[in-house]
Structure 1
Amino acid sequence: MSVEEVLSELRRRIQSRLPPDINVTGLEFEGPELVIYTDDPRRLADDGEIIRSLAKDLRKRVVVRPDLKVLMDPEEAIKKIQEVVPKEAVLTNYHFDGETGEVIIEAEKPGLVIGRHGATLREITKLIGWTPKVVRTPPVRSSTIANIKDYLRSVQTERKSILRSIGRKIHRDIASKDQWVRISTLGGCREVGRSCMLLSTPESKIIVDCGINVGSDDSATPYLYVPEVYPLSQIDAVVLTHAHLDHSGLVPMLYKYGYEGPIYCTPPTRDLYVLLQLDYIEVAGREGKRLPYDSSMIREALKHTITLNYGDVTDIAPDTKLTMHNAGHILGSAIAHFHIGDGLYNVAFTGDFKYEKTRLFDPAVNSFPRLETLVIEATYGGANSIQPSRKEAENHLLRVVRETIKRGGKVVIPAFAVGRSQEVMVVLEEAIRKGLIGEFPVYLDGMIYEATAIHTSYPEYLNNELRDMIFHKGINPFLAECFVQVENSKQRDEIINGEPAVILATSGMLNGGPIMEYLKGLGPDEKNTLVIVGYQAEGTLGRRIQKGWKEIPLTVEGKTQTVKMNMEVVTVDGFSGHSDRNQLMEYVRRVYPKPSRIITNHGDESNCLDLASSIYKKYRIPTSAPMNLETIRLI
Structure 2
Amino acid sequence: MPWEDVLKQVREVMDELAPQAEITNIDLEGPLVVVYTRDMEFFADHPDIIKKVAQTVRRRIFIRPDPSLLMDEAQAKDEILNIVPEEAGIRDIYFVPETGEVVIEAESPGAVIGKDGQLLNEIKKRIRWAPRVVRAPPLESRIVKEMRAYLKLVREERREILRNIGKRINRPPLSGEQWVRVEALGGYREVGRSATLIMTRTSRVLVDCGLNVAVSDKADPWSGAPYLYVPEVWDASDPEKPFKHIDAVVVTHAHLDHVGLVPLLFKYNYDGPVYMTAPTRDLAAMLLIDYVKVAQSEGKKVPYESKHIKEMIKHTITLKYGETTDIAPDIRLTFHNAGHILGSSVSHFHIGEGLYNIVITGDIKYERSWLFNAAHNRFPRVETVIMESTYGGREDFQPSRREAAERLKDVVMRTYDKGGKILIPVFAVGRSQEVMLVLESFMRNGELPEMPIYLDGMIWEATTIHAAYPEYLNKDLRELIFQKKENPFLSPIFHRVESVERREEVISSSDPLIVLSTSGMMNGGPVLEYFKHWADDPRNTLVFVGYQAVGTLGRRIQNGLKEVLMSLGGKPFTVKVEMNIETIDGFSGHSDRRQLVQYISSMNPKPERVIICHGEENKCIDLAIGLHKRYGMETMALKNLEVVRLR
State whether TM-score is above 0.5. yes
In 2, Cα distance between equivalents of 1:630 and 1:89 = 58
Shift of 1:80: 4.9
> What secondary structure does 2:214 align onto?
coil
Q: 1:236 to 1:132 in 2, by over 3 A?
A: farther
* SS of aligned partner of 1:309: coil
Q: Which amino acid aligns with 1:237?
A: A
Maintained 8 Å contact 2:9/2:57: no
Cα distance in structure 2, aligned partners of 1:236 and 1:543: 38
Q: Tell me which of 220, 225, 231 is aligned to 1:221.
A: 225
Counterparts in 2 of 1:145 and 1:402: CA distance versus 1, 3 Å:
same
Task: Work out the CA distance in 2 between the residues paired with 1:42 and 1:81.
Answer: 21
Other structure's SS at 1:444 match: strand
Q: Retained in 2: the 8 A contact 1:41–1:126?
A: no
What does residue range 497-512 of structure 1 map to in structure 2 within 5 Å? 497-498=508-509, 499-512=511-524
Separation (CA, whole Å) in 2 of partners of 1:367 and 1:100: 31
Counterpart of 1:221, as a letter, is A
CA distance in 2: counterparts of 1:133 and 1:158, whole angstroms:
25
Contact 1:446/1:514 (<8 A) preserved: yes
Question: How far did residue 47 of structure 1 move?
Answer: 4.0
Q: Residues of 2 paired with 1:619 and 1:47: CA distance?
A: 49
What does residue 206 of structure 2 align with?
A: 207
1:444 maps to: 455
Distance, in Å, in 1 between the alignment partners of 2:305 and 2:115 is: 47
Q: Which amino acid in 1 is paired with 2:147?
A: I
* Partner residue in 2 for 1:564: 576
Please tell me whether residue 157 in structure 1 is matched to residue 161 in structure 2. no
Q: In the TM superposition, what is the alpha-carbon distance from 1:496 to its structure 2 partner?
A: 1.7
How far, CA to CA, are the matches of 1:14 and 1:243 in structure 2?
Answer: 40
Greater Cα offset, 385-394 or 125-134: 125-134
User: For 2:478 and 2:30, how far apart are their aligned partners in 1?
Assistant: 32
Correspondence for 2:10: 10
Q: What is the distance in 1 between the residues matched to 2:526 and 2:614? A: 27
Residues 42, 122 of structure 1: 8 Å contact kept = no
The question of whether the paired residues in 2 share the 8 Å contact of 1:241 and 1:336 is answered with: yes
Whether the 8 Å CA contact 1:142–1:454 is kept in 2: the answer is yes
Note if contact 2:339-2:374 (Cα within 8 Å) is conserved in structure 1: yes
Query: 1:2 Cα deviation (Å)?
Result: 3.0
Quote the Cα distance in structure 1 between the aligned partners of 2:598 and 2:266: 39
Q: Among 470, 489, 492, which residue is 1:478 paired with?
A: 489
TM-superposed deviation, 1:482: 0.2
Distance 1:325 1:504 in 2: 30
| Alignment counterpart, residue 552 of structure 1, candidates 551, 564, 577 | 564
Aligned partners of 2:158, 2:472: CA distance in 1, in Å?
26
Letter in 2 for 1:220: G
Aligned AA for 1:297?
Answer: H
> What is the identity, as a one-letter code, of the residue corresponding to 1:195?
S
- Cα distance between partner residues in 1 of 2:113 and 2:34: 22
Structure 1, unaligned runs of 5 or more: none
Whether the 8 Å contact between 1:42 and 1:127 is mirrored in structure 2 is no
SS in 1 for 2:477: helix
Aligned to 1:171: 170
> 2-side partners of 1:313 and 1:106: how far apart?
27
1:193 and 1:481 mapped to 2: Cα distance?
36
Which residue of the partner structure matches residue 264 of structure 2? Answer: 253
In the TM superposition, residue 544 of structure 1 has moved relative to its aligned partner by: 0.4
- Per the alignment, residue 579 of structure 1 pairs with 591
Mapping for residues 324-363 of structure 1, pairs under 5 Å: 324-363=335-374
Q: Distance in 2 between matches of 1:474 and 1:432?
A: 18
Of the structure 1 ranges 138-147 and 46-55, higher mean CA displacement relative to structure 2 is found in 46-55
Aligned ranges 1:49-128 → 2 under 5 Å: 49-78=48-77, 80-81=79-80, 89-98=88-97, 100-110=99-109, 124-128=123-127
Query: Quick one: distance in 1 between partners of 2:401 and 2:532?
Result: 31
Q: Secondary structure at the match of 2:215?
A: coil
Cα distance, 1:380 vs structure 2:
0.4
SS of the equivalent of 1:593 reads: coil
Letter in 1 for 2:216: D
* C-alpha distance 109-451 of structure 1, shift in aligned 2 (>3 A): same
- State the match for 1:271 in structure 2: 282
CA distance, structure 2, for counterparts of residue 343 and residue 479 of structure 1: 49
SS of the aligned residue for 1:315 comes to: strand
1:621 paired to 2:620: no
Q: Distance in 2 between matches of 1:90 and 1:418?
A: 29
Structure 2 SS opposite 1:324: strand
CA deviation digits over 1:198-225, x for unaligned, max 9? 0010111000000001110375000001
Q: Which amino acid aligns with 2:311?
A: E
Q: Among 598, 608, 612, which residue is 1:596 paired with?
A: 608
The size of the alignment, in residue pairs, is 634
Unpaired segments of 5 or more residues in structure 2?
A: 218-222, 236-242
**Farther off after superposition, 547-556 or 191-200:** 547-556
Q: CA deviation at 1:129?
A: 2.3
Q: Which residue of 2 aligns with 1:294?
A: 305
Describe how 1:290-329 pairs up with structure 2 within 5 A: 290-329=301-340
CA gap of 1:115–1:351, structure 2 versus 1, over 3 A, is: farther
CA deviations over 1:317-369 (Å, ceiling 9, x no partner) = 11111000000000000000000011111000000000000000000001001
% identity of equivalent residues: 54
Calculate the TM-score normalised by the size of structure 2.
Answer: 0.95
Cα contact 1:45–1:122 (8 A) shared by 2: no
Cα shift at 1:97: 3.9
Deviates more, 1:170-179 or 1:450-459: 170-179
Task: Pick which of 93-102 and 286-295 moved more.
Answer: 93-102
Cα 1:163–1:619 shift into 2, 3 Å: same
Amino acid at match of 1:303: K
> Greater shift after overlay, 291-300 or 139-148?
139-148
Post-superposition offset of 1:488? 1.4
Relative to structure 1, the CA distance from residue 88 to residue 313 in structure 2 (aligned partners, 3 Å threshold; closer, same or farther) is farther
| Structure 2 Cα separation of the partners of residues 106 and 417 of structure 1 | 26
Name the stretch that deviates more: 153-162 or 40-49.
40-49
